[in-house]
Structure 1
Amino acid sequence: MLQRDDIRRYYVANLIAAGHAYARMRNHAAARDHFQKALYHGGDLRDRVMDAYLGLGMVYRNADDHAGAIEYLTKAVTLADQLDIPYFTTLTHAFLGRTYLMTGEYAQALPHYEKAVAAIEDQRSLLQTGESRSSYFDQMTGVYNGLITTLLHLGKQETAFDYSERARARAFLDVLGNRVDLSHGRVSALIDEERELKRKIAELQALRDESGQDGIRNEMERLRREYQAFLAKLQQDDREHASLVSVAPLTLKDVRRMLPENTTLLQFHVFENSVVVWAVRSDAVRAMQVPVGRKELLEAIRAFRTEIAGLAPDEDVNRSARALYTLLFKDLQLTANHRLIIVPHDVLHYLPFQSLMMPNGYYLIEQHGISYLSSASLMQFTIEKRKQVADDAVLAFGNPDLGNPALNLRYAEREVKEIGRLFPTSAIYVRKEATERRAKEKAADYPLIHFATHGEFNEKDPLASSLKLSPEGSSSGDLTAGEIFRLKLNASLVVLSACESALGRISSGDEIVGLTRAFIYAGTPSVVTTLWKVDDKATYLLMQSFYQNLKRMSKGEALRQAQISLMRSLRHPYFWGAFVLTGDAE
Structure 2
Amino acid sequence: MVSSPLTVMAEILDPLPPEQSGKILCCYINATSKIQVARISNIPNWYFERVVFPGQRLVFEAPRKGQVEIHTGMMANAILSDKIPCDRLMLEEPSIYEFDTDLIGIDPISKNNRYEFIESMEETNKTPKISQIVQQALSTGYLTIKAENQLRQLLTTRYDLEDFNAFMVLQDAVMLGKVKPENRASYEDVFSTINQNSYKPIAHIQREKALLLFTKVTRLKETANKYLSINHPEKAKFYYYQIIDVLEILQEGLDINTRRSLMKSYLEIYQRIVAVSIYTQDFNSAFLYSEISRNRYLVERLSKQDTLLPITLPFKLYEKIKEAKINENKALIHYTYVLSNKQDKQLIDKTKDKWLEAKKNLDNLYSEVSESEPEFIAKTKVYPISFTEVQSLLQHDSAIIEFFFTEKVLVIMLILPGEEQPFICEDLCIELKDNCLEEIVRIWASNITTKTTSTKDIEIDENLEQLPIFLKIFSDYLLPRKLQGYIPPDINNLIIIPHKYLHLVPIHALWLNENQCLIERFSVSYCPSIQVWKICQKRQRQRELLLGIENPTQDKDLIFSKAEVVSISQRQQFLQTQILSGGQASKAEILRSVKHHHCFHFSGHAEYNFKNPLDSYLMLSAHSNDEDLTLNFILTDMQMPQADLVTLSACCTGVVDAFQPTDEYLGLPTGFLLAGAKAVVSSLWKVNSIATAYLLDEFYRQLDRTNNKAAALQTSQNWLRACSADELRERAVTWDLSKLEPKEQFRLKRALKRLEGIPFENPYYWAAFVLTGC
TM-score (norm 2): 0.58
1:155 is aligned, of 262, 268, 281, to 281
- Following superposition, the deviation at residue 477 of structure 1 comes to 2.2
- Following superposition, the deviation at residue 305 of structure 1 comes to 5.9
Paired residue total: 524
C-alpha change, 1:193 and 1:410, in structure 2 (3 Å) is closer
- Following superposition, the deviation at residue 425 of structure 1 comes to 3.9
C-alpha change, 1:303 and 1:132, in structure 2 (3 Å) is closer
C-alpha change, 1:317 and 1:472, in structure 2 (3 Å) is closer
1:86-140 deviation digits (Å, cap 9, x = unpaired): 001111101211221222201111221111111111222265x554333122211
Distance 1:57 1:319 in 2: 56
1:139 is aligned, of 243, 265, 272, to 265
1:289-318 deviation digits (Å, cap 9, x = unpaired): 422328222234345667877233687356
- Following superposition, the deviation at residue 536 of structure 1 comes to 1.4
Q: Say whether residues 1:437 and 2:588 are aligned partners.
A: yes
Distance 1:301 1:479 in 2: 26
Contact 2:430 2:477 in 1 (8 A): no
| One-letter code aligned to 1:137 | M
The aligned residue for residue 393 of structure 2 is 258
Q: Say whether residues 1:273 and 2:413 are aligned partners.
A: no
1:170 is aligned, of 296, 299, 324, to 296
Percent identity at matched positions?
Answer: 22
The aligned residue for residue 580 of structure 1 is 770
Distance 1:55 1:194 in 2: 45
Contact 1:481 1:515 in 2 (8 A): no
1:518-563 deviation digits (Å, cap 9, x = unpaired): 3223222111111111111111111111122221123222211111
1:51-105 deviation digits (Å, cap 9, x = unpaired): 99999999xxxxxxxx9xx99xx89x98x98998000111110121122122220
The aligned residue for residue 714 of structure 2 is 560
| One-letter code aligned to 1:296 | C
1:422-458 deviation digits (Å, cap 9, x = unpaired): 4584211222222211211100222211011322333
- Following superposition, the deviation at residue 236 of structure 1 comes to 5.3
Distance 1:290 1:96 in 2: 27
1:189-216 deviation digits (Å, cap 9, x = unpaired): 8869999xxxxxxxxxxxxxxxxxxxxx
1:492 is aligned, of 628, 634, 644, to 644
The aligned residue for residue 627 of structure 2 is 476
C-alpha change, 1:306 and 1:332, in structure 2 (3 Å) is farther
The aligned residue for residue 97 of structure 1 is 224
The aligned residue for residue 207 of structure 1 is none
- Following superposition, the deviation at residue 171 of structure 1 comes to 5.3
Q: Say whether residues 1:22 and 2:69 are aligned partners.
A: yes
Contact 2:275 2:406 in 1 (8 A): no
| One-letter code aligned to 1:352 | P
Distance 2:30 2:478 in 1: 61
The aligned residue for residue 438 of structure 2 is 298
- Following superposition, the deviation at residue 482 of structure 1 comes to 4.9
- Following superposition, the deviation at residue 22 of structure 1 comes to 2.4
- Following superposition, the deviation at residue 142 of structure 1 comes to 1.5
C-alpha change, 1:189 and 1:368, in structure 2 (3 Å) is same
Distance 2:303 2:96 in 1: 45
The aligned residue for residue 10 of structure 1 is 32
Contact 1:542 1:562 in 2 (8 A): yes
Distance 1:34 1:193 in 2: 62
Distance 2:644 2:253 in 1: 35
C-alpha change, 1:328 and 1:432, in structure 2 (3 Å) is farther
SS at match of 1:122: helix
1:298-339 deviation digits (Å, cap 9, x = unpaired): 234345667877233687356435424544863762233521
**What root-mean-square deviation, in Å, do the aligned CA atoms of Structure 1 and Structure 2 show?**
4.7
SS at match of 2:494: strand
TM-score (norm 1): 0.75
- Following superposition, the deviation at residue 567 of structure 1 comes to 0.1
Contact 1:372 1:581 in 2 (8 A): yes
My pick for the range that moved more, 483-492 or 46-55, is: 46-55
Distance 2:677 2:656 in 1: 18
Contact 1:501 1:531 in 2 (8 A): yes
Distance 2:174 2:557 in 1: 61
**Greater share of helix:** 1
SS at match of 1:387: coil
The aligned residue for residue 684 of structure 2 is 531
Contact 1:134 1:175 in 2 (8 A): no
Distance 1:31 1:192 in 2: 65
Contact 1:133 1:174 in 2 (8 A): no
User: Structure 1, unaligned stretches of length 5 or more?
Assistant: 1-6, 59-66, 196-222
User: Structure 2, unaligned stretches of length 5 or more?
Assistant: 1-28, 42-48, 50-67, 72-87, 104-130, 136-160, 176-183, 203-208, 310-317, 330-359, 449-460, 723-757
- Following superposition, the deviation at residue 348 of structure 1 comes to 1.2
Q: How does 1:344-363 map to 2 (within 5 A)?
A: 344-363=498-517
C-alpha change, 1:8 and 1:583, in structure 2 (3 Å) is closer
C-alpha change, 1:305 and 1:330, in structure 2 (3 Å) is farther
Q: Say whether residues 1:420 and 2:547 are aligned partners.
A: no
| One-letter code aligned to 1:415 | E
The aligned residue for residue 670 of structure 2 is 517
| One-letter code aligned to 1:138 | K
Contact 1:465 1:515 in 2 (8 A): yes
Distance 2:99 2:323 in 1: 53
1:287 is aligned, of 410, 424, 429, to 424
Distance 1:542 1:132 in 2: 40
C-alpha change, 1:235 and 1:301, in structure 2 (3 Å) is farther
Contact 1:130 1:174 in 2 (8 A): no
SS at match of 2:277: helix
| One-letter code aligned to 2:579 | I
SS at match of 1:499: coil
SS at match of 2:294: helix
Q: Say whether residues 1:465 and 2:616 are aligned partners.
A: yes
| One-letter code aligned to 2:276 | T
SS at match of 2:695: helix
Q: Say whether residues 1:547 and 2:700 are aligned partners.
A: yes
The aligned residue for residue 497 of structure 2 is 343
Distance 2:293 2:396 in 1: 27
Q: Say whether residues 1:379 and 2:379 are aligned partners.
A: no
Contact 1:250 1:377 in 2 (8 A): yes
- Following superposition, the deviation at residue 343 of structure 1 comes to 0.6
Contact 1:343 1:376 in 2 (8 A): yes
Distance 1:35 1:518 in 2: 61
